[in-house]
Chain A
Amino acid sequence: MPCLMNCARAALLWAAVTAHGAAVPEQSEVPAQAEVPAQAEVPAQAEVPERVSAPPTAPGPATGLADSAALRATVYGTPPQDMAPLPNRVPLAEINLALPRARPVPDVFWFDRKLRVWFSAQDKPAPLAIVISGTGSDGNTAKLSALRGVLYGAGYHVLTMPSPTFPGFIVSASSTGVAGDLMQDGHDLYAAMQEIVRRLPRKVKITEIDVLGYSLGGANAAIVKSIDAKEGKLNIHRAVMIDPPVSLFASIGRLDKLFTQSIGAGDAGIEQLYRRLYAQLANLYRASDRVQIDEDFLLGAAAGILKTDAEFSAAIALSFRIDLVNVFFAGDLYAGTGVVTDPKHPPKVGDSLEATQRLLRSKPFSEYFSKVFAPYYLQHRPNSTPASLIADNRLDIIGDALSNNPDYYAQTNADDLILDTRELAWLRQTLGSKIAVYHHGGHLGNIGERQQVSDMLDMLAGRWRGAAK
C-alpha cells in the first residue's frame, strides 16, 4: 500500500521541524524595552489603517528562565517512567457542537464548523473538571490525555477543551475571530462551556465544577473563573493554572526573539533550516537498514538531530510559529485587515493557499499584533490604546482575585521559558501559599509527573496546604 497517509506520524514530526518554519524579517525586530506610546508609529507600514507598534520585547534572554535541561524537558515532555499512576480504563466520548450564536463560516474553514470537545463520564455523581488546552492546540493532546487519565482516576468527570487560539475554536466559538485577547477569549470559552454543560446527557450528575488548563489555557481557566464569579452561570468552584504566562505578550515576544536567534531572519532562514534537516534526515536514513521511514526512525532521527541548545530552541520556536500561522490567518480573514487575504475576495475552497502560507510563516507575533489584533480591538473598544491592549493581557487584570480568593491555584517551574524572574516573583507574591513552584520541568515538561499530579489533585479538592518542601 503506497499511500493512505502511512506517514501520518512522520508528517507531524516533520511538520514540527520544517513545514511552516520561517524566519523573522529584519525590520520586525522591535527594539528591546521600547515603551509603547499611545499613538506609536511604525514607518514603512503605511497601508495599515491604525498605526500601531508591536508590543515591547521583554528584556532578558529569549529563553526566559530556562537552562539547557529545561529546553530538553520542554521538547521531550515528562519521561513516561515519571508519570503518576494512571487508570486502566477511561471511557471517552467525542462531542461535536454547533453553538447557537455561531457566525457564518468562511469557505476555507468548512471543516471547523462545529466545536469539538472530549468528555469522560463517571457513572455516579461526581465533580466535573474542565481542562483547557495550550496555545493553538485542540482538546485531545497527549498532555490533555495524561491529565484526563489522572483526573478520571481521581473520580472526576473530565471535559477537555481546545484553546481559544485553536483554529477550530476560532471558527466555531469565537465571537470575534481575532484570538489572543484574554478577556474576550475568556468570555467565548465561558459561553461555550455553558452550552456544553447544558447539553451533556442527563444521566451525567455533576456535583461541582472546577476549571484548569496548561500554559495559555491556565490563564484562560483563571479568567473564566473570574467571569463566572460575576455572572454565576456555572458556579465554578476552583481554578488551577499549570505553567501559565503572566504577561501574554511578553512571553510571546520572547518566543519571537527565540525564533530570530535560533532560526534566523528572512525567508532564507526557513529555507536553510529545511535544507539542513532534509540532508540530515536523508543521510541518517541512508545509513539505516530500513526500507521505509517510520515512527521509530523519526524518533531516532530526532535524537540524532536535536543536540545543542540552539537546536532545541529552534524546535520550540518553530512549534509556536506553526500555531501562530493559523491564528494570524484566521484573524486577518475575520477582521478583514487584508494583510494576507483580500477582504473583498476571500480565498475559496479549492484555492491554493501555498503563497499565503509562505507569506505568513515569516511573520512574527509582533506583526499580528500591530496589523490585525490592535487595529481590530482599537476599533471595537472605545478608549483603548495599544498600551491598554497590552496591559489587558496580563494576569494582573485578575490580580486581586488571584491573591484574595482562596480558590485560585497555580503550579509552575522555576526554569519555565515563558517566564522571567520578575514574572515568577509576581506569581509567588500574588498567589502566596496557593502556588507550587518546582525546580525543574521547563515549560510543561513535568505535566502528569507524580508530584505535579498529587499537588494538582490536592489543589482541586481544596486539600492543598502549601508546598511541603
Chain B
Amino acid sequence: MRPVLLAALMTAALGGCASESLSIHSLPPQDPAAENAAAVASTAAFAAAAASAETAKEAGGSGPASEAVPPVTAADAPSMYTYDPWERLNRFTYRFNARFDEAIFLPVSNTYRRIPPPIRAGVHNFFGNLSEVDSVINYALQWRLKLGARSLGRFVINSTIGIGGLIDVAKMLKLPGAPTGLSTTLAKWGMHPGPYLVIPLLGPSTLRDGLGFVGDYATSYGIDVAKLYRGDKSWALGTLNAVDQRANIDFRYYATGSPFEYENIRFLYVRKRLIEDEGLHAKLAKKGEKSTTQQENEVNEPAGK
C-alpha cells in the first residue's frame, strides 16, 4: 500500500510541476451565499461579545492578568530584526516547502476539500481530540492544573459521548479547546525561542518550537493512544492528519507574489510567538516580576535570540 501511495504522490508531483505552458486546475466550488451568511453571523457574534466586554469593564472588572505585571510599553518591543543565523539553509527549506506544497500538499488538500464539510469536521475533531493527551501532560508540566483539567475533561467527554472524538461535545458544553505543547512548557521554564528555523514540510518555526514539535510527537508515540501511532495503519493516519491540517490552513506560498515573502513570514511568525510568550509569562508572573521582553530586550538585539 505504501509504495502505491508514494507512486501516486510522485505522479501528482510530476504533473504539478510539469512545465507545459498552460494548466487548468479545477478547484472545489465556492459557496458565496453560505460564506456571507457565516460572515453575517460572526459579525453579529463579534458585536455582541464586544458589547458584553464593554459592560463587564463598566462593572469594574479590569483585566485580571494586566495587574500582575506592568503593561508592555513601546520601548519594550523587540527589535524589528529577527535572529536568523541559519538563513541560507532556512531559505532553501522555505523554497523546498513552497514547491512541495504547490506540487503535492495543495492539490491533495484541494481534493480533500471536496469531501462534505461534516465529515471533514469529524476528522478534524478526531485529531484534535488525540492531541488533548499531549496538552494534559504539558499543562501539568507547566503547573497550570486548571487548564490541564479542562483538557482532560474534554478528552474524556469527547472520547465517550463524542464517539471517539469525532464530535466536539465539550465545546458545546462551553469547554472550548485550548491546546498547548512542549514548546510552551519550555517557554514557561525560561527557554528563549532561539534562532528562526524553517522545518521541512512544516514551515516557519524557531529552535524551541521545533524541539517542542519533536517532543510532542515523541510523547504521542510513547503513549500510543489506541495503538494509533505505532500500528500498521499509523502512516495512513499520519498522512490524513497532515492533509487535515493543511486543508484547514488558508495559506498559499507566494500568493502575495512578493519577493519579500520569506522576510515577511519570518517577521510575523516570530512576533506572534513573542507576544504569546508575553501573555504566558504575564499570566504566570507573580506581582512585581518583570515581563519577558523587559528582561530580555536589550535594545536592538535581534528578536528571538
The reply to whether B249 and A271 form a contact with Cβ atoms under 8 Å apart is no
Chain B residues with CB under 8 Å of A278's CB are 72, 74, 77-78, 271, 275
Chain A residues with CB under 8 Å of B251's CB are 5, 8, 11
Give the segment of B32-40, B165-173, B231-239 that binds chain A.
B32-40
Q: Is residue B6 contacting chain A, with contact meaning CB distance below 8 A?
A: no
Cα distance A285–B71 in the bound complex, in angstroms: 11
Cα distance A356–B269 in the bound complex, in angstroms: 20
Q: Is residue A146 contacting chain B, with contact meaning CB distance below 8 A?
A: yes
B213 to chain A, nearest CB (A): 5
Known contacts A167-B257, A271-B80, A282-B278: A97-B27 contact under CB 8 Å: no
Q: Is residue A467 contacting chain B, with contact meaning CB distance below 8 A?
A: no
Known contacts A14-B268, A279-B71: A4-B249 contact under CB 8 Å: yes
Cα distance A294–B141 in the bound complex, in angstroms: 24
Known contacts A2-B212, A303-B50: A349-B260 contact under CB 8 Å: no
User: B146-157 vs A: 1/0 string, CB under 8 Å?
Assistant: 010000000000
The reply to whether A291 and B74 form a contact with Cβ atoms under 8 Å apart is no
B92 to chain A, nearest CB (A): 7
User: B19-60 vs A: 1/0 string, CB under 8 Å?
Assistant: 001111111111111111001100100100110000000000
Set B27, B65, B147, B275: member contacting A293, Cβ < 8 A: B275
The reply to whether B80 and A91 form a contact with Cβ atoms under 8 Å apart is no
The reply to whether B31 and A88 form a contact with Cβ atoms under 8 Å apart is yes
The reply to whether A167 and B258 form a contact with Cβ atoms under 8 Å apart is yes
The reply to whether B66 and A4 form a contact with Cβ atoms under 8 Å apart is no
Q: Is residue A383 contacting chain B, with contact meaning CB distance below 8 A?
A: no
Q: Is residue B112 contacting chain A, with contact meaning CB distance below 8 A?
A: no
A177 to chain B, nearest CB (A): 13
Chain B residues with CB under 8 Å of A342's CB are none
Q: Is residue A45 contacting chain B, with contact meaning CB distance below 8 A?
A: no
Interface residues of A in 339-365 (CB under 8 A from B): 349-350, 352-354, 356-357
Chain A residues with CB under 8 Å of B30's CB are 89-90, 92, 145, 148-149
Q: Is residue B265 contacting chain A, with contact meaning CB distance below 8 A?
A: yes
Q: Is residue B164 contacting chain A, with contact meaning CB distance below 8 A?
A: no
Known contacts A4-B203, A86-B32, A100-B21: A92-B27 contact under CB 8 Å: yes
The reply to whether B245 and A1 form a contact with Cβ atoms under 8 Å apart is yes
Q: Is residue B75 contacting chain A, with contact meaning CB distance below 8 A?
A: yes
Known contacts A9-B250, A79-B43: A326-B259 contact under CB 8 Å: yes
Set B21, B32, B181, B203: member contacting A149, Cβ < 8 A: B32
The reply to whether A2 and B272 form a contact with Cβ atoms under 8 Å apart is no
Instruction: Name which of A19, A146, A272, A353 has the most chain B CB atoms within 10 A of its CB.
Output: A19
The count of residues in chain A whose C-beta lies closer than 8 Å to any C-beta of chain B is 88
Cα distance A112–B246 in the bound complex, in angstroms: 22
Closest to A352 in B: B87
Chain B residues with CB under 8 Å of A89's CB are 29-31
A321 to chain B, nearest CB (A): 13
Inter-chain contact total with CB atoms closer than 8 Å: 246
Known contacts A5-B265, A87-B33, A278-B77: A291-B254 contact under CB 8 Å: no
Set B95, B178, B258, B265: member contacting A349, Cβ < 8 A: B95
Interface residues of B in 228-280 (CB under 8 A from A): 245-246, 249-251, 253-260, 262-265, 267-269, 271-272, 275-276, 278-279
User: A250-272 vs B: 1/0 string, CB under 8 Å?
Assistant: 00000000000000000000011
Range class of the B interface residue count = 35 or more
Cα distance A256–B181 in the bound complex, in angstroms: 45
Set B28, B75, B183, B269: member contacting A11, Cβ < 8 A: B269
B155 to chain A, nearest CB (A): 16
The reply to whether A111 and B29 form a contact with Cβ atoms under 8 Å apart is no
User: A271-314 vs B: 1/0 string, CB under 8 Å?
Assistant: 11011101101110111101111001001100100000000000
Chain A residues with CB under 8 Å of B275's CB are 278, 281-282, 285, 293
Chain B residues with CB under 8 Å of A5's CB are 203-204, 249, 251, 265, 269
Set B50, B249, B267: member contacting A6, Cβ < 8 A: B249
Sorted from nearest, which 5 A-B pairs have the closest CB atoms?
Answer: A287-B63, A8-B251, A167-B257, A149-B32, A80-B39
> CB within 8 Å of A: which residues of B?
21-36, 39-40, 43, 46, 49-50, 63-66, 69, 71-78, 80-81, 87-88, 91-92, 95, 98, 131, 147, 178-181, 183-184, 199, 202-205, 209-210, 212-213, 216, 245-246, 249-251, 253-260, 262-265, 267-269, 271-272, 275-276, 278-279, 282-283, 293
14 intermolecular pairs with C-beta atoms under 8 Å apart: A7-B269, A7-B272, A79-B43, A80-B43, A81-B43, A86-B33, A90-B30, A90-B31, A91-B29, A111-B254, A272-B74, A278-B78, A350-B92, A354-B81
